[in-house]
Structure 1
Amino acid sequence: MSDTERAALKRAADHRVTGASTALVALSETLHAHPETAWEEHRAAGWVGEALADGGFTVTPGYLGLDTALLAEVGTGPTTIGIMAEYDALPGLGHACGHNLIAAGTVGAGLALAALADDLGLTVRVYGTPAEEGGGGKIELIDAGAFRDLDLALMVHPAPVDVAEARPFAVAHNHVTYDGVSAHAAAYPDHGVNANDAFVVAQVAIGLLRQQLPADTRVHGIQTVGGYAPNAIPEHTEGRWYTRANSLEQLEELEQRVRRCFEAGALATGATLHVVPESKPYDAFRTDERALAAYTRNAVDRGRVFADPAVAGRMNRASTDMGNVSQIVPAIHPYIGVDSLPYTNHQKEFAAACVGPAAERALLDAAVLMAWTVIDVVQQD
């Protein structure tokens, strides 16, 4: 294919996204106004599925047995492209990671590529992937057989600034509980086993451990249940704890060290410890360099400006279950800026920045750039 023909395809993709821009922005705003947390994204999955069905896709809701997952497919070409839509929100913070923009941008890219599927020899798949914020929806889909035949998987994630290459941590999510014995805190304190004290001991131990941990690891969490009454020894406490590292191997070693801190809480108080994984670990991300190079060129052509490496390095300390997808098929996961600094992901101010003019530009650019990247990658084969 000549450069002139390729340019024509890119103009067609741009035109398709522009023509759908009003509907795409409306979808993003609707998702933003009605946040749903992991595994509860019933309305979100329905709205995304409806938009794709209206665009000519065959939509399978409840994909592979997951109620809030979906598969939308169009085209019958030999090259299979998978675009990932995320739409879960954060508890208490709404769309403070911008998944409303991910979902709408993915729909836009799907619509653009659907119009070109015959010309490019594509099978285009849009996956609705639930529970990225801690539930590992993509991992559940992998285990059920999804994604493995893709020639390229891609998505674009909102951020304060543009960053081309994603380098997320591997991460483990654990639910931690202690069970003790309740007693009257004044009259019979010696009859109790204080489950809250167990959590305090564990958190102090983790705080001290941090000074001996490698700089490229993270340990953090919250206590979600601390007791029920100040005059009753707490018999049950709960928390959610995350550990992050650069690889699954490093993560396994880190988890063992953190686990000993929680065991210390149980030993010191006599409470019983239970640690239950909330999902399988998220893997580190492996970038397809060819697709990333195409995305980067196209972003520059589109007028996007990539952040200074020092800022980009901070952005790359998050985690995503897209990392697990990247370990089995070629994938990219660039970040696109919504001009939110000094506010960053997982702040309420970032959620506010995921609607409005800068967010709309990011949404539409993400859709076009994913389509342009696919055009370039397919034409290189």
Structure 2
Amino acid sequence: MRRMRLSPEVRRRCQDAVDQAQDRLLALSRSLHAEPETAFREYRSAAKVSGLLRDEGFAVDVGVGGLDTAFTARYGDGPLVVGLCAEYDALPGLGHACGHNIIAASSVGAALALREVAAELDLTVVVVGTPAEEEGGGKITLLEAGVFDSVSMAMLVHPAPEDNCAPRPLALVELEVTYTGRESHSALAPHLGVNAADALTIAEVAVGVGRQHFEPRQQVHGIVTRGGDVPNVVPAHTRALYNLRAADMESLSRLESRIRACFAAGAIGTGCTHEVSATPAYAELVHDSFLSEAYRSAATELGRPLVSREQELEMPTGSTDMGNVSRALPSLQPSIGINSGAAVNHQPEFAAACVAPGADRALLQGAVALAWTAAQAAQDEQARQRLLDQHRERGASKVGPR
């Protein structure tokens, strides 16, 4: 990897822009945090983020990709298009326990920084408001609708307990299994019933004993969302929701086949019928190597306490629909630490940490680091040409042969 070099003037102007916008960015983060909204219901959140960008001179288009709470905000007219993804959905019952308030505000901050150098670097800056990351796969819908077709590279920075320049989010699919049996009195005539709760039990036992045969990085975790109504009636209807994760889409497909067989075992063993539905799968995240190294250089210059490259390979991670974006175009999603102590993502304590001083610092430095990363890609002739060529090839592949 070549040594990263960014014009001192560009670096300074990006930093100054974030410094000048500090109060607005922190206020945006706190406002999002105070009014959490879950997947596809982020009406206030999307309005807050897009409204700030509109006030700053960005051309805003709301409801893109057929999603009411998605938007794009565009500035500039250069051929190299930087896509900054703004997530703002919260977790049911936990609020912003994954820090999406920070993601949105830091992407806005990076956009404001890049606006100051867009003409000089011949850039277009686009903030893509991406709803429903926690569930629903909003970015997948936007990809399929062509919202990312104009974007040369996509990026965001994600809050975490530690700084990891190259996390490895797993591929994921969510399966819902429903069993149907037959009701009967649990004491008077249990032999006339077909127990759908037993079917769930058999399926879960099958999943549990199968774990010893899982491939490295394969994971399964689930919850029962319906287990019966009263104990004196044999349950005729039960339902469970499972997350399946794996290192890549190919491994995920093999895991899904195994777990579907476990679900079938529950039906066979009890005489129930069953149905399985699946959400669109999240792909594993693939970082663009140039963007990753440029971000590492920027984060190092900002004094971020980065984990080692060796630790990056061992650290546990979740999943994201940004993985699907990364399989379509050059992408980047580093983690940035917010000084959350012992708390990790999806805990109430982490939600509280997402508006603490460590989170504010991460938000502002994350914005600068993203801006410097994009500017580095724009200034490096080889990287710029590669990104433009890949973008052109992607467009040609969508059109097909003439």
TM-score category (smaller protein): over 0.9
**Percent of counterpart pairs with the same letter?**
48
Matches within 5 A, 1:193-208: 193-208=194-209
Please name the residue that 1:157 is paired with.
158
Instruction: Answer yes or no: is 1:272 the counterpart of 2:257.
Output: no
Distance 1:5 1:94, change over 3 A: closer
Please name the residue that 2:363 is paired with.
363
One-letter identity of the residue aligned with 2:154: A
TM-score by structure 2 length?
A: 0.91
One-letter identity of the residue aligned with 1:330: P
Cα distance, 1:148 vs structure 2:
2.9
Spell out, residue by residue over 1:12-64, the C-alpha distance to the aligned partner (whole angstroms, 9 max, x if none).
Answer: 11111111111111111111111111111111111111111111111111112
- The answer as to whether partners of 2:103 and 2:156 remain within 8 angstroms in 1 is yes
Please name the residue that 2:230 is paired with.
229
Please give the alpha-carbon distance, in whole angstroms, between the structure 2 residues aligned to 1:72 and 1:233: 55
TM-score by structure 1 length?
A: 0.96
One-letter identity of the residue aligned with 2:371: A
Instruction: Answer yes or no: is 1:344 the counterpart of 2:320.
Output: no
- The DSSP-based 3-state class of the residue aligned with 2:229 is coil
One-letter identity of the residue aligned with 2:275: H
- Structure 2 residues not aligned, in runs of 5+: 382-402
- The answer as to whether partners of 1:148 and 1:329 remain within 8 angstroms in 2 is no
Cα distance, 1:177 vs structure 2:
1.3
One-letter identity of the residue aligned with 2:203: A
Cα distance, 1:347 vs structure 2:
1.4
Cα distance, 1:308 vs structure 2:
4.3
Cα distance, 1:4 vs structure 2:
10
Greater displacement, 86-95 / 154-163: 86-95
Please give the alpha-carbon distance, in whole angstroms, between the structure 2 residues aligned to 1:305 and 1:5: 21
- The answer as to whether partners of 1:181 and 1:234 remain within 8 angstroms in 2 is yes
Cα distance, 1:313 vs structure 2:
4.1
Please give the alpha-carbon distance, in whole angstroms, between the structure 1 residues aligned to 2:288 and 2:14: 22
Please name the residue that 1:306 is paired with.
306
Please give the alpha-carbon distance, in whole angstroms, between the structure 2 residues aligned to 1:152 and 1:23: 26
Please name the residue that 2:384 is paired with.
none
Spell out, residue by residue over 1:146-181, the C-alpha distance to the aligned partner (whole angstroms, 9 max, x if none).
Answer: 213322111100000000012111111112211222
- The DSSP-based 3-state class of the residue aligned with 2:86 is strand
- The answer as to whether partners of 2:6 and 2:375 remain within 8 angstroms in 1 is no
Aligned residues: 378
- The DSSP-based 3-state class of the residue aligned with 1:255 is helix
- The answer as to whether partners of 2:218 and 2:247 remain within 8 angstroms in 1 is yes
One-letter identity of the residue aligned with 1:238: R
One-letter identity of the residue aligned with 1:86: E
Please give the alpha-carbon distance, in whole angstroms, between the structure 2 residues aligned to 1:374 and 1:80: 10
Please give the alpha-carbon distance, in whole angstroms, between the structure 1 residues aligned to 2:241 and 2:309: 32
Q: CA RMSD in A?
A: 1.6
Cα distance, 1:188 vs structure 2:
2.3
Please name the residue that 2:183 is paired with.
182
Please name the residue that 2:387 is paired with.
none
Instruction: Answer yes or no: is 1:48 the counterpart of 2:68.
Output: no
- The DSSP-based 3-state class of the residue aligned with 2:7 is helix
- The DSSP-based 3-state class of the residue aligned with 2:284 is coil
- The DSSP-based 3-state class of the residue aligned with 2:216 is coil
Please give the alpha-carbon distance, in whole angstroms, between the structure 2 residues aligned to 1:182 and 1:21: 61
One-letter identity of the residue aligned with 2:364: L
Cα distance, 1:276 vs structure 2:
0.8
Please give the alpha-carbon distance, in whole angstroms, between the structure 2 residues aligned to 1:314 and 1:101: 25
Please give the alpha-carbon distance, in whole angstroms, between the structure 1 residues aligned to 2:241 and 2:43: 24
- Structure 1 residues not aligned, in runs of 5+: none
Greater displacement, 257-266 / 169-178: 169-178
Spell out, residue by residue over 1:77-102, the C-alpha distance to the aligned partner (whole angstroms, 9 max, x if none).
Answer: 11111000111111222111111100
- The answer as to whether partners of 1:148 and 1:328 remain within 8 angstroms in 2 is no
